[in-house]
């Protein structure tokens, strides 16, 4: 009850910020970002668009990848109309397609740009069951697996940039408190919903993908311990009415948002935690943490399980593998099988 009251009144935490803080407010005292290159996925609308706008305001060079290239160009034009000196590159990327992720990384590397900041923000709530071209349930493929591969392929670039520039690289995974709604066998559940429509529950699938974001952060931070010049953290932006939730418009959804209207954040407020974790000097050398309302918070019990994080990582490596004999099998996830 006390936490809810603090949230409603915007009480600040140890960081000096809280639920009512905006992205512009939390970046006011950050160093000039003129030397920073940032990739922000899902920046064509909502929280991602505001995150990109504020980073541009603070001087960062932006790379805006999107499935719809015109949408990325429109987002670029919108930012340039406010900050005409900004350097922004729009690129094509469909996170549900592993081939598209690899093509994007190849194209980005051909630009010979540094990479200081990777914000894995894009999200999808597939209320209808769908399978990606790689055979993975669509919400999981888009929200987690595409970002897993994107991060994996860009990590060496980030490590190299940090060493050359002397500025710590940061990876920010945008999750959700809804990750707490998932319980049970993650890999088994993914196998079921990737094979059978009858097992599909849209909310549980979304919660699974957001839990995967949390566990990805935990395991990657562990692996980066020896690479102190790159950190990774995870954020819950808060409840906000964006295109993601509008995909589920209807009487029940509208009524729920009406009843919860006092808990909703504005988009500038929802982008605050991402921008805080991405830029604030207080976060130097902080890695593997989960943040909400610009302060460190607790994950679910499953979200803090190191064994589950390692298990998901191993499964993910198989799912993104181009090895001819690598086949994802949720029953024997660590095995390789003949095609």
pLDDT for 248-299, tens place per residue? 555 555 555 555 555 789 999 999 999 999 999 999 999 999 999 999 999 9
Owning domain of residue 215: 1-321
Question: What is the total count of domains within the chain?
Answer: 1
333 pLDDT above the threshold of 80: no
pLDDT of residue 135: 95
Would residue 335 count as lying in a domain? no
Would residue 328 count as lying in a domain? no
Would residue 158 count as lying in a domain? yes
- Contacting residues for 131 by C-beta, under 8 A, at least 6 apart: 137, 138, 194
Would residue 334 count as lying in a domain? no
Would residue 326 count as lying in a domain? no
pLDDT of residue 3: 53
Per-residue confidence at 224, pLDDT binned at 50, 70, 90? very high
CB 193 within 8 A of CB 137: yes
* pLDDT top residue among 134 and 256: 134
CA pseudo-torsion sign 253, 205, 155, 109: negative
The label of the residue with tokens 């988009």 reads 267
CA pair distance 31, 284, nearest whole angstrom:
12
Would residue 101 count as lying in a domain? yes
Catalytic residue among 144, 200, 206, 276: 200
* pLDDT top residue among 93 and 2: 93
7 in active site: no
170 pLDDT above the threshold of 90: yes
Would residue 315 count as lying in a domain? yes
Would residue 332 count as lying in a domain? no
What share of the chain in percent tops pLDDT 90? Answer: 79
CATH assignment of the domain containing 262: 3.40.50.720
Per-residue confidence at 88, pLDDT binned at 50, 70, 90? very high
Per-residue confidence at 227, pLDDT binned at 50, 70, 90? confident
């Amino acid at each position: 009850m006390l936490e809810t009251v603090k949230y409603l009144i915007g009480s600040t935490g140890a960081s000096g910020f809280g639920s009512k803080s905006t992205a512009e407010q939390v970046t006011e005292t950050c160093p000039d970002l003129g030397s920073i290159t940032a990739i922000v996925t899902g920046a064509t609308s909502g929280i991602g668009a505001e995150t990109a706008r504020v980073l541009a305001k603070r001087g960062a060079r932006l790379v805006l990848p999107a499935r719809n290239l015109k949408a990325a160009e429109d987002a670029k034009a919108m930012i340039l109309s406010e900050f005409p000196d900004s350097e922004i590159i729009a690129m094509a990327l469909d996170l549900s397609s592993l081939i598209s992720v690899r093509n994007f990384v190849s194209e980005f590397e051909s630009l010979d740009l540094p990479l200081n900041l990777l914000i894995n923000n894009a999200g999808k709530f597939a209320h209808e069951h769908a399978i990606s071209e790689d055979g993975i349930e669509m919400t999981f493929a888009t929200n987690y697996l595409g970002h897993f591969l994107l991060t994996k392929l860009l990590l060496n670039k980030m490590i190299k940039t940090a060493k050359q520039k002397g500025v710590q690289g940061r990876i920010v995974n945008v999750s959700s408190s809804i990750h707490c709604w998932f319980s049970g066998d993650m890999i088994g559940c993914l196998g079921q919903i990737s094979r059978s429509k009858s097992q599909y529950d849209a909310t549980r699938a979304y919660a699974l993908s957001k839990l995967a974001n949390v566990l990805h952060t935990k395991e990657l931070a562990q692996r980066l311990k020896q690479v102190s010049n790159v950190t990774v953290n995870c954020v819950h932006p808060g409840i906000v009415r964006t295109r993601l939730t509008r995909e589920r418009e209807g009487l029940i959804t509208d009524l729920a948002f009406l009843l919860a209207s006092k808990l909703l954040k504005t988009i500038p407020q929802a982008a605050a935690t991402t921008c805080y974790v991405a830029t604030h000097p207080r976060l130097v050398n902080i890695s593997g943490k989960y943040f909400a309302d610009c302060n460190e918070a607790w994950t679910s019990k499953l979200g803090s399980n190191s064994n589950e994080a390692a298990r998901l990582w191993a499964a993910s490596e198989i799912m993104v593998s181009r090895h001819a004999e690598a086949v994802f099998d949720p029953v024997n996830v660590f095995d390789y099988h003949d095609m």
